[in-house]
Amino acid sequence: MPITPEQRDEIDRLRAVTATTRRATVPALEEILYQPLDVLDHGFVRVIDYMGDDAAVVQAARVSYGKGTKKVSEDSGLIKYLMRHRHSTPFEMCEIKFHVKLPIFVARQWIRHRTANVNEYSARYSILDREFYVPAPEQLGAQAVVNRQGRGDVLEGEEAADVMRLLREDSKRAYNHYEEMLNHREDGTVIDPSRQGLARELARMNLSLNYYTQWYWKVDLHNLLHFLSLRADAHAQYEIRVYADAMLDVVKRWVPAVFESFTEYRMGGAHLSRTGLDVVKRLLAGEPVTQEASGLSKREWRELMDQLGRSDS
Residue 104: count of CB within 10 angstroms of its CB: 18
Q: What is the CA radius of gyration of the chain?
A: 24
* CA nearest to 258, candidates 80, 70, 24: 80
266 in active site:
no
Annotated catalytic residue: which of 231, 241, 274, 310?
231
Nearest residue to 281 (alpha-carbon basis) of 300, 308, 254, 253: 308
Beta carbons of 309 and 292 less than 8 angstroms apart: no
Quick one: which of 251, 163, 252 has its CA closest to 210?
163
Handedness of CA 116, 121, 124, 129 (dihedral sign): negative
- Given a contact cutoff of 8 angstroms between Cβ atoms, the answer to whether 250 and 45 are in contact is yes
Question: Which of the residues are catalytic?
Answer: 231
